[in-house]
């Protein structure tokens, strides 16, 4: 039994819809296991820009820093946001990630057996797939060459004599590469003991350095099988034979793109959770930022069509990684599996002979299983 403070940043579009369901599940966990969660809700994204003039205020960042964990919905992309403010809603993510040094983004991909037919990829290819993408989150193309790096100002457009030109710089230091590689190898030791380091070393200098550092780190983990793979080939192998992968470790933008692709192994963008971790300690463990990998999905916002499972599984990761509550996290995963197995789906996973539920109804079903 414990008391924990969770900063909650619902955000824009479907962000608040799916975050409400993640909270419903955390409440169900609290009553079943006797914990107490205090939620500190703050504005983020468009709402924060309009009310506070920034995508996330410094006061909200401080609330996050003082919490035991951060639950994030999604930001950006609302048609109602006219973009007249200089600041973009997505800058909230950069401020959080860079500001709190969440350099390691874990994105597990484990298609549920009862969802194999919901994926466009053949069931026999998917069966047994269980991988995690370790995405570097505070460097690379997102932060460019600015020294010191300015969160949320990753690129520059310049006026030249020939017209406008724009530049983005992919910069990595050895230390940044080494720490993310170590996260990957440590994760592999608890899993199937294989690391695939993904880069573009046939073109990019940053990837050549990435390979050198990766080889050095790999030598410290002789018990882990290690390979390099070019990112374009990886995009293909991911859907050709996903069972060949265990831990994929890669640069910020490559990890962003590969995980949207990988979400289709699990059937939908609405299925993949994530944990972003750094080194900041709390009274209960390590501070982390937990969010679905998907965005604000303006095309389905406000219609009850959003799948809340990615947010709910992010809450499970929060319990596991920041609060050390492993059985509670496992109970959420089992409840999700049971509800899907029973044939309940949200719109994105609609198939014949399934019962399609609204966002809230899906949350209620999963909470009801947890209450049993």
Ligand X SMILES: NC(=O)c1ccc[n+]([C@@H]2O[C@H](COP(=O)([O-])OP(=O)(O)OC[C@H]3O[C@@H](n4cnc5c(N)ncnc54)[C@H](O)[C@@H]3O)[C@@H](O)[C@H]2O)c1
Ligand Y SMILES: CC(C)[C@H](C(=O)O)[C@@H](O)C(=O)O
Annotated binding site: 97, 107, 135, 232, 256, 260, 295-307
Among 10, 255, 295, 363, binds ligand X (CB under 6 A): 295
**Residues marked as binding for NAD(+)?**
295-307
- Lookup: tokens for 43: 């504005």
Alpha helices in 148-204 (DSSP H): 174-189
CA neighbor of 328 nearest in space, from 17, 5, 36: 36
CA neighbor of 278 nearest in space, from 151, 64, 100: 100
Just list the catalytic residues: 142, 200, 232, 256, 260
Closer of 94 and 321 to ligand X (Cβ):
94
370 makes contact with ligand X (CB under 6 A): no
Q: Which of residues 9-28 bind ligand X (CB under 6 A)?
A: 14, 18
Q: Which residues bind Mg ion (CB under 5 A)?
A: 256
CA neighbor of 114 nearest in space, from 132, 127, 125: 127
**Binder of residue 130, out of ligand X, Mg ion, ligand Y, none (CB less than 5 to 8 A by kind):** none
How is the beta sheet containing 131-136 ordered, strand by strand? 36-41, 3-11, 69-74, 286-290, 275-281, 104-109, 131-136, 247-250, 194-199, 225-230
**Residues marked as binding for substrate?**
97, 107, 135, 232
Closer of 25 and 325 to ligand X (Cβ):
25
Largest CA distance in the chain: 69
**Binder of residue 359, out of ligand Y, ligand X, Mg ion, none (CB less than 5 to 8 A by kind):** none
Closer of 317 and 367 to ligand Y (Cβ):
317
144 dihedral zone (left: phi>0; alpha: psi -120 to 50; beta): left
295 makes contact with ligand Y (CB under 6 A): yes
Handedness of CA 275, 293, 99, 43 (dihedral sign): negative
The Cα–Cα gap between 371 and 332 comes to 11
Closer of 297 and 323 to Mg ion (Cβ):
297
Q: Which of residues 108-137 bind ligand Y (CB under 6 A)?
A: none
337 makes contact with ligand Y (CB under 6 A): no
Closer of 221 and 290 to ligand X (Cβ):
290
The Cα–Cα gap between 36 and 178 comes to 38
296 makes contact with ligand X (CB under 6 A): yes
Closer of 200 and 294 to ligand X (Cβ):
294
The upper half-sphere exposure of residue 159, i.e. CA atoms within 13 Å in the direction of its Cβ, equals 0
**Rounded to an integer, what is the distance from CA 85 to the centroid of its chain?**
27
Q: Residue 69: beta bridge partners? A: 6
Among 26, 264, 293, 362, binds ligand Y (CB under 6 A): 293
Among 7, 96, 238, 269, binds ligand X (CB under 6 A): 269
Q: What SS3 state is found at 238?
A: helix
The upper half-sphere exposure of residue 73, i.e. CA atoms within 13 Å in the direction of its Cβ, equals 32
Residue 115 Cα distances to 95, 203, 243, 286, angstroms: 36, 38, 16, 32
Among 20, 90, 333, 337, binds ligand X (CB under 6 A): 90
Least CB distance from residue 46 to ligand Y, whole Å?
Answer: 13
90 makes contact with ligand Y (CB under 6 A): yes
256 makes contact with ligand Y (CB under 6 A): yes
Least CB distance from residue 304 to ligand X, whole Å?
Answer: 11
Least CB distance from residue 148 to ligand X, whole Å?
Answer: 24
**Binder of residue 96, out of ligand X, Mg ion, ligand Y, none (CB less than 5 to 8 A by kind):** none
Q: Count residues near ligand X (CB under 6 A).
A: 23
The Cα–Cα gap between 272 and 294 comes to 8
Contact residues: ligand Y, CB under 6 A? 76, 90, 93, 256, 293, 295
Contact residues: ligand X, CB under 6 A? 14, 18, 74-77, 90, 93, 268-270, 291, 294-300, 306-307, 310, 348
């Amino acid at each position: 039994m414990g008391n924990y403070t969770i900063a909650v940043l619902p955000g824009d579009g479907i962000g608040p819809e799916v975050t409400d369901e993640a909270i419903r599940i955390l409440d169900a966990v609290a009553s079943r296991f006797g914990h107490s969660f205090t939620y500190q809700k703050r504005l983020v994204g468009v709402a924060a820009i309009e009310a506070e003039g920034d995508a996330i205020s410094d006061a909200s960042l401080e609330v996050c820093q003082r919490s035991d964990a951060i639950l994030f919905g999604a930001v950006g992309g609302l048609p109602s946001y006219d973009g007249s403010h200089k600041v973009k809603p997505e800058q909230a993510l950069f401020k959080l990630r860079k500001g709190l040094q969440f350099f390691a983004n874990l994105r597990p991909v484990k298609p549920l057996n009862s969802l194999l037919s919901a994926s466009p990829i053949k069931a026999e290819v998917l069966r047994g797939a269980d991988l995690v993408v370790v995405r570097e989150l505070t460097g690379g193309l997102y932060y460019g060459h600015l020294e010191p790096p300015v969160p949320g100002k990753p690129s520059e457009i310049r006026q030249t004599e020939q017209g406008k030109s724009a530049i983005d710089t992919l910069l990595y230091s050895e230390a940044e590469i080494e720490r993310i590689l170590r996260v990957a190898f440590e994760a592999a030791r608890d899993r199937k003991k294989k690391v695939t380091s993904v880069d573009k070393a046939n073109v990019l200098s940053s990837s050549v350095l990435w390979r050198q550092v990766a080889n050095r780190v790999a030598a410290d983990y002789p018990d882990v099988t290690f390979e390099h793979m070019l990112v374009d080939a990886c995009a293909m192998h991911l859907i050709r034979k996903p069972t060949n992968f265990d831990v994929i470790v890669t640069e910020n933008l490559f990890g962003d793109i590969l995980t949207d692709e990988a979400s289709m192994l699990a059937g939908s963008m609405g299925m993949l959770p994530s944990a972003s971790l750094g080194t900041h300690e709390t009274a209960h463990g390590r501070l982390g930022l937990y969010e679905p990998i998907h965005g604000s999905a303006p095309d389905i916002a406000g219609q009850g069509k959003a799948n809340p499972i990615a947010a709910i599984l992010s809450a499970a990761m929060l319990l596991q990684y920041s609060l050390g509550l492993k059985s509670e996290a496992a109970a959420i995963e089992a409840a999700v599996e049971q509800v899907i197995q029973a044939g309940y789906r949200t719109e994105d996973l609609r198939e014949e002979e399934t019962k399609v539920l609204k966002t809230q109804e899906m949350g209620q079903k999963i909470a009801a299983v947890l209450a049993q």
